[in-house]
């Protein structure tokens, strides 16, 4: 018998930085165990990751056996290029539906640059059902373009349209590296849609006010908050945290993870 209580869950977005040997001591080979260790410590129920190459996906799935991962590479819709992988705890959730779309004028075609984007961009989505409460919801993870302002605007419009189309009225979680601040013209599209910025909606906010630090190279005053989690109205935001943990040597990534605790009300 399914319990009718509300679903409480921890959700994380994390740009893990792709595997680039030129990052030297900050390269993936020096970070992967610490990234997996951080995730095992906080144990988020759902994680949206960005800049995940297939080899990194293999590394993480080996180190995170409690999670199921979905997603494809943005270059071909298969294994090439960066993934926007969605991880979720296998014992907590049932995967009802999942898929991917390109952030472009042709959402079903991968490996293309949409609008004025510098790179091909995409989103991965999943409709999940909580095994304990029976609550269903849709989660979308994306990575907006770093150069194209129009691409960021149109990309978010597409994400919102897809959330409505694919979710069929279910509660919505949208997360990712938006490559812009919440005050920007492009990201305000989320506020105008009725979605809630979890930082602004949270009962408790903790941690720094920035997420991107370029492996510590950016001055504090120059560090922006470009990693965001937005939720639809039926979702309460209990806690919000930018996780500024650093291992004894090096960094987890050039971005900090963002971790929120939410309640999806019945």
Half-sphere exposure of 11 (CA within 13 A, CB side): 33
| pLDDT tens-place string over residues 150-165 | 999 999 999 999 999 9
Considering only CA atoms, which of 83, 41, 91, 45 is closest in space to residue 63?
A: 41
Q: What is the CATH number of the domain that holds 149?
A: 3.60.10.10
Residue at token pair 């996906």: 57
Provide the domain limits for residue 75.
7-264
Residue 186 lies in a domain: yes
Residue 39 lies in a domain: yes
CB 96 within 8 A of CB 56: no
Residue 2 lies in a domain: no
| Prediction pTM value | 0.97
Residue 139 lies in a domain: yes
Residue 223 lies in a domain: yes
Point out which residues pair with 260 in neighbouring strands: 11, 240
Residue 34 lies in a domain: yes
Query: How far apart, in Å, are the Cα atoms of 254 and each of 88, 205, 227?
Result: 23, 22, 12
| pLDDT tens-place string over residues 12-24 | 999 999 999 999 9
User: Total structural domains in the chain?
Assistant: 1
Residue 1 lies in a domain: no
- How far apart, in whole angstroms, are the C-alpha atoms of residue 167 and residue 86? 16
Residues 6+ apart with CB under 8 A from 235: 171, 172, 173, 196, 262, 263, 264, 265
Q: What residues of the chain score a pLDDT lower than 70? A: 1-4
User: In sequence order, what E strands does the chain have?
Assistant: 7-15, 46-50, 67-70, 86-89, 93-102, 122-130, 136-143, 172-177, 196-197, 204-206, 227-231, 235-242, 258-264
Residue 19 lies in a domain: yes
């Amino acid at each position: 018998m399914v319990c009718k209580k509300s679903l409480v869950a921890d959700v994380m977005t994390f740009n893990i930085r792709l595997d680039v040997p030129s990052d030297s001591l900050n390269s993936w080979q020096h970070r992967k165990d610490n990234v997996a260790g951080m995730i095992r410590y906080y144990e988020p129920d759902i994680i949206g990751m960005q800049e995940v190459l297939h080899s990194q996906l293999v590394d993480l799935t080996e180190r995170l056996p409690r999670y199921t991962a979905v997603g494809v590479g943005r270059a071909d819709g298969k294994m090439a290029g960066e993934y926007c992988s969605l991880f979720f705890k296998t014992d907590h959730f049932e995967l009802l539906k999942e898929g991917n779309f390109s952030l472009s004028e042709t959402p079903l075609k991968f490996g293309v640059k949409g609008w004025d984007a510098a790179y091909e961009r995409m989103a991965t989505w999943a409709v999940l059902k909580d095994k304990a409460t029976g609550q269903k919801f849709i989660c979308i993870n994306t990575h907006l373009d770093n150069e194209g302002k129009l691409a960021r605007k149109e990309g978010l419009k597409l994400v919102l349209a897809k959330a409505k189309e694919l979710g069929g009225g279910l509660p919505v979680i949208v997360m990712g590296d938006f490559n812009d601040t919440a005050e920007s013209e492009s990201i305000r599209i989320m506020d105008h849609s009725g979605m809630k910025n979890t930082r602004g909606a949270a009962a408790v906010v903790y941690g720094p006010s920035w997420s991107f630090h370029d492996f510590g190279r950016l001055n504090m005053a120059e560090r922006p908050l470009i990693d965001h989690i937005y939720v639809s109205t039926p979702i309460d935001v209990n806690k919000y945290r930018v996780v500024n943990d650093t291992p004894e040597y090096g960094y987890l990534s050039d971005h900090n993870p963002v971790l929120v605790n939410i309640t999806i009300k019945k």
